[in-house]
Structure 1
Amino acid sequence: KEGETFTGTARVYDNEPSMMRGLENKEIKPGDVVIIRYQGPKGGPGLPEMLTPTSAIMGAGLGDVVALLTDGRFSGGSHGFCIGHITPEAQVGGPIALVKNGDPIRID
C-alpha cells in the first residue's frame, strides 16, 4: 500500500539477488515489509539503485500490498511504498542490520 503508513512483517534479504530469488520462489507475501540491506555506500559498495526490486514487486502484482525498505537508493522511476537511503547503513551497524525475518514493522 502506497501512502503514509504501513504495518507488516519483515522479510529480510542481505542483497538484491537474494530478494529476487525470494520473489521468484513466492517467499514474499501481501503484508510483508521487504528489507534489502547492506546496499549503502560502504555495504553496496557505492549505494546501488533499487529500481529492479521495485519493478519486480510491481510486476508480481504486490505493489499495493508490500513495502520495501533499504539502505540502498531509489531513482525517480521507483513505484510503490518504498523507503531508501536508510542510515546508518547495515554495513556500519545501523539498526536495519538487526531486523530479523518475522519482526513486526510499522512505518508511520
Structure 2
Amino acid sequence: MIKIIYLGGRQNGKPGSSATGMNKQMDWIKENRGADYEVIKLPFQTITNEIPYLEEYYFKVIKKGNELKAFYILKDLSVEEIKKLSEEFWEQTYTLGYEFD
C-alpha cells in the first residue's frame, strides 16, 4: 500500500492509502462521509441533531525541487493553503519519483 497524506478538511494530515500493483485502480477521488452532532439542551429534554457532511479529496502530484510527492487534496482548498499544508506534511507522504534534467 502507498501512504498518501490528506490535505485540508477533517482528514488533514491523516494518512490514506491507495492500491498498488498493475491490476489495481488508483483512487483519483476519495470521499469522506460522516456526521456531526449538535446537542440542544432544553429544560425538560435534550435534542440531538445529526448534521451530515461530505468532503471530496482529489489525488494530486506536487513537485518541490526535483521531487514529486502524492497527496489527496480537499476539493476547494486554496493554492496558498495547499502550499502551506504540503510543506508541513512533505516528509510523511509517498514519493512518486524524481525529475532529472
- Tell me the TM-score range normalised by the shorter chain: under 0.3
Structure of greater Rg? 2
More helix by share: 1
| TM-score, with length taken from structure 2 | 0.25
